[in-house]
């Protein structure tokens, strides 16, 4: 809402908050996208700059975990150079995105920067130079790149912010964000802690769907990577949490792909694929939804179809915190297809990335056996046992990630040949 102030210069819009009250920040991360500046010196290019802004707002709005100010509010700042801290206060947001568009001949340069309003610090910035052969293609490409980069950056800052707060002041969102921080550590202890924190968020706010979704996925990931003794109990809990999440918000992309992942583990492959495909349709810029679609297709024995989805996920989020998992699954799909030379390249990348999982070293050893590189396979097996002492061939039996008994037996047989104990 805005009104024309009698004591200001023509063309200046003032928010109600400016004179009456300071807006309370929403519980979820909040962002305003200011109109991109047309730096071309050509008034004809205004429509392109305005279109970029509108598209980014629309795409950011697909992320249900964000609170996004509508374009009618942010366009009140068009042709002005406001202090982003004033914008944040007036619109009641924590983050502000601003950018510019400059055209020169058949080339166009688009820049964007995300600012944390409380500190004034830049969180993310990038520049895109493109040929202007198809203005709408350029607009779509840059919008997707900016959105894919911004959403994780906001999440990172929110997690850091939540950990600076006193535990006595934690609400459902704070527990949820701390749960994410623990979950992203990718350690066994981190997963157990994440489960506790997400469950606490569920208790505080039983209507907060994302916390139920993450309570489910923390369990499924813990189950797949660390193979605990009480696997059946953990899987049942994951199923209940995932069902609760999708009941609360069946239009949330994260709730859908989490529910799909649980169905995949249960062997309900058609249901799993359909749910994750719906998640991708709801939010095409969700790299995790694309990754999980590839994973559930792989578990269903459809690795050839799965590969492009994992490739797209990596393209959307090339510095993703779960890049190791994406690389691992890419290698696993190629193992399914008996393309061992290619699988070796991807699993080697996974083993050298941040936080490689024990399964990565297991697959590395299996691939090396299939390539006839026995000595290197034994070295990879030592790495596996260093990361996961006590691992045996029997621990892999029934693992849903391998997409069928034939692939699992081929995998376990290779580990047995490398020297992994049976029990």
Instruction: Return averaged pLDDT per consecutive 10 residues of the chain, 423 residues in all.
Output: 38 40 79 91 80 85 83 87 88 91 84 88 86 74 77 74 56 85 86 95 92 95 81 93 96 93 94 96 88 95 96 86 92 96 96 86 96 94 89 84 83 94 89
| 323-423 placed in CATH 1.10.3470 | no
pLDDT of residue 320: 83
Residue reference for tokens 């020297």: 419
As to burial, measured by CB atoms within 10 angstroms (0-12 exposed, 13-18 middle, 19+ buried), residue 131 is exposed
Residue reference for tokens 């492959």: 269
Phi, psi of 318 (to 5 degrees): -70, -15
d(CA 351, CA 328): 8
d(CA 291, CA 308): 10
Q: Residue 297 corresponds to which tokens in the numbers above?
A: 């297709």
Q: Which of 23, 40, 21, 44 is nearest to 32 (CA)?
A: 23
Element (H, E) at 203: helix 188-204
Phi, psi of 102 (to 5 degrees): -135, 125
pLDDT of residue 164: 61
pLDDT of residue 162: 67
Beta-carbon count within 10 A of 118 CB = 13
As to burial, measured by CB atoms within 10 angstroms (0-12 exposed, 13-18 middle, 19+ buried), residue 355 is middle
| 24-164 placed in CATH 3.90.1150.10 | no
Q: What is the DSSP letter of 79?
A: T
pLDDT of residue 163: 65
Phi, psi of 31 (to 5 degrees): -145, 145
The region, left, alpha or beta by phi > 0 then psi within -120 to 50, assigned to residue 195 is alpha
Instruction: Tell me the residue length of the chain.
Output: 423
Q: What is the DSSP letter of 351?
A: H
Q: Residue 303 corresponds to which tokens in the numbers above?
A: 């690795």
The residue extents of the domains of the chain are 24-164, 323-423
Rounded to a whole number, what is the largest CA-CA distance in the chain? 83
Residue reference for tokens 């944390």: 116
d(CA 63, CA 56): 11
Phi, psi of 101 (to 5 degrees): -130, 130
d(CA 177, CA 404): 36
Per the CB < 8 A criterion, the answer to whether 118 and 53 are in contact is no
Sign of CA dihedral 214, 217, 222, 223: positive
As to burial, measured by CB atoms within 10 angstroms (0-12 exposed, 13-18 middle, 19+ buried), residue 100 is middle
Q: HSE of 181 in the Cβ direction (CA atoms, 13 Å)?
A: 16
pLDDT of residue 178: 84
As to burial, measured by CB atoms within 10 angstroms (0-12 exposed, 13-18 middle, 19+ buried), residue 375 is exposed
User: What pTM was estimated for this model as a whole?
Assistant: 0.78
pLDDT of residue 16: 37
Q: Which of 245, 277, 200 is nearest to 64 (CA)?
A: 245
Element (H, E) at 146: helix 135-164
């Amino acid at each position: 809402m805005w009104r024309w102030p009698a004591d200001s210069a023509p063309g200046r819009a003032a928010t109600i908050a400016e004179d009456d009250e300071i807006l309370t920040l929403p519980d979820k991360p909040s962002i305003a996208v200011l109109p991109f500046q047309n730096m071309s010196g050509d008034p004809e290019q205004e429509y392109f700059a305005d279109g970029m802004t509108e598209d980014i707002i629309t795409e950011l709005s697909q992320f249900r975990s964000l609170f996004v100010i509508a374009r009618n509010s942010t366009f009140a700042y068009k042709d002005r150079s406001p202090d982003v801290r004033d914008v944040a206060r007036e619109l009641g947001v924590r983050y502000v995105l601003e950018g510019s568009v400059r055209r020169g001949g058949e080339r166009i340069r688009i820049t964007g920067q995300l600012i944390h309003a409380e500190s004034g610090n830049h969180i993310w910035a990038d520049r895109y130079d493109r040929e202007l052969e198809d203005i709408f293609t350029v607009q779509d490409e840059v919008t997707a790149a900016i959105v894919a980069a911004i959403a994780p950056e906001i999440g990172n800052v929110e997690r850091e912010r939540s950990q600076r707060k006193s535990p006595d002041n934690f609400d459902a969102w704070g527990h949820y964000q701390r749960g994410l921080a623990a979950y992203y550590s990718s350690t066994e202890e981190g997963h157990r802690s994440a489960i506790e924190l997400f469950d606490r968020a569920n208790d505080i706010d039983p209507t907060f769907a994302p916390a139920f979704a993450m309570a489910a996925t923390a369990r499924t990931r813990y189950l797949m990577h660390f193979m605990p003794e009480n696997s059946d109990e953990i899987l049942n809990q994951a199923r209940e949490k995932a069902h609760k999440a999708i009941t609360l918000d069946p239009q949330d992309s994260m709730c859908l792909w989490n529910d799909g992942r649980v169905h995949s583990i249960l062997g309900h492959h058609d249901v799993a694929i359909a749910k994750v495909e719906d998640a991708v349709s709801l939010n095409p810029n969700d790299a995790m939804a694309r990754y999980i679609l590839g994973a559930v297709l792989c578990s269903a024995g459809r690795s050839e179809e799965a590969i492009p989805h994992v490739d797209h996920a990596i393209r959307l989020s090339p510095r993703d915190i779960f890049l190791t998992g994406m690389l691992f699954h890419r290698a696993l799909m190629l193992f399914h297809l008996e393309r061992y030379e290619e699988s070796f390249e991807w699993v080697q990348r996974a083993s050298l990335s941040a936080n490689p999982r024990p399964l990565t070293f297991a697959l590395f050893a299996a691939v090396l056996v299939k390539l006839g590189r026995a000595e290197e396979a034994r070295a990879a097996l030592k790495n596996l046992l260093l990361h996961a002492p006590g691992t045996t061939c029997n621990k892999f039996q029934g693992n849903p990630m391998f997409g069928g008994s034939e692939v699992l037996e081929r995998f376990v047989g290779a580990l047995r040949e490398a020297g992994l104990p049976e029990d």
